[in-house]
Structure 1
């Protein structure tokens, strides 16, 4: 039976890989283009998660990530960690993320789950944390942004799925998916048009 730390590392690794996978096959515009009103974009998601992970497994446990992250420094533009500048290449950002993985994995491998650290950007009354809590927090953070990336990527070129070799989606051709979409649209409009007091008929 795998131990608790191995389980947590496995879920973190899968989330990291899923996030990076969403860049595959896209050109520079595709990975950078803002796809929501708040500017959500694929390469920016990777940059943000890399930066956050560097802090949680670095500074929190007295092992600061050795590279500067200027977008987090005082005076940096707001949201500078959420997009890549023209001068920051895909390889710059993905390479940073992989180096953060290596640094984080050293922290995780070295410390027991009950090792304590301090998150300096959290309120003082809850800043003291265990490695276990930070692992759970970082899995949730990475999966949340991987979910953002799922939707962003699908809206760019229709590509969808949870990981290479396992889409976790029903098999269906373009006609099946169009019929499915239409079914959902009809259900949504019908529900919206039903008076609030009208009971749902049991089938």
Structure 2
């Protein structure tokens, strides 16, 4: 898959292509990590790559349920200060949260593709502290833009964490994860264990 989003012909294709691209960028930050590394908080915050990926399907599920006007299947969306939201619990694995993210993305994509009008109203959760009191609804378009924004923000967090863990950056990780033929960048490889 190319490093950048291919050309787009229309608004819907652009929004969904950019959401897919941002998901991919977040997922690739986990490429080659051990369970221990996926749990590492490499800065002063509690954020870890595994925790950021754990948060992503929860966030998408919240918005998909709003679009469908369904009761939340799990807990409501939480803000970034909620304890444990961005950390893997002892019984959670990186593979498990990656699978949950893929499932949530598939569900979101199916719901979005089933709605012909990007202007369709999506009800706003009233009383949430992050919602302006005068806003009663958003459009499906707004929700897609918000998901792109949220995913990109957390992808940026994950980039910094990954670089702090082992120095790996996006292009080499992507080249390694996707086994690019004749890559223009040297694919990431795990560090050789030191002999001593």
Q: What is the TM-score with the length of structure 1 in the denominator?
A: 0.72
Count of residue correspondences: 164
- CA distance in 1 between counterparts of 2:13 and 2:72 reads 22
Q: Deviations over 1:57-100 (max 9, x none)?
A: 2224314565x35xx599xx933321110101122211111111
Q: Is the 8 A contact 1:58 1:107 kept in 2?
A: no
Question: 1:157 offset after TM fit, Å?
Answer: 0.4
Correspondence 1:156 to 2:165: yes
Structure 1 outlier segments of 4+, above 6 Å: none
Q: Which has the higher contact order (CA 8 A, sep 6+)?
A: 2
3-state SS of paired residue (1:57)? helix
Q: Is the 8 A contact 2:121 2:139 kept in 1?
A: yes
Gaps in structure 1 of 5+ consecutive residues: 173-203
Q: Deviations over 1:100-137 (max 9, x none)?
A: 11111112101120111113133442241000011111
Which among 150, 161, 170 is matched to residue 141 of structure 1?
150
Higher-Rg member (1/2): 1
Correspondence 1:130 to 2:135: no
Q: What residue in structure 2 maps to residue 5 of structure 1?
A: 12
Q: Is the 8 A contact 2:122 2:138 kept in 1?
A: yes
Alpha carbons of structure 1 residues 94 and 12: separation in structure 2 relative to 1, 3 Å: same
Correspondence 1:94 to 2:98: yes
Q: Is the 8 A contact 2:50 2:88 kept in 1?
A: yes
Gaps in structure 2 of 5+ consecutive residues: 1-7, 177-183, 187-196
| Higher alpha-carbon deviation: 39-48 or 121-130 | 121-130
Question: 1:28 offset after TM fit, Å?
Answer: 0.7
Q: Is the 8 A contact 1:42 1:153 kept in 2?
A: yes
3-state SS of paired residue (2:119)? coil
Q: What residue in structure 2 maps to residue 78 of structure 1?
A: 82
Q: What residue in structure 1 maps to residue 175 of structure 2?
A: 165
Q: What is the TM-score with the length of structure 2 in the denominator?
A: 0.74
Q: Is the 8 A contact 1:116 1:129 kept in 2?
A: yes
Q: Is the 8 A contact 1:60 1:119 kept in 2?
A: no
Q: Is the 8 A contact 2:67 2:140 kept in 1?
A: no
Q: Deviations over 1:123-166 (max 9, x none)?
A: 44224100001111110110111011111101100100256239
Tell me which protein shows more helix as a share of its residues.
Answer: 1
Alpha carbons of structure 1 residues 101 and 73: separation in structure 2 relative to 1, 3 Å: closer
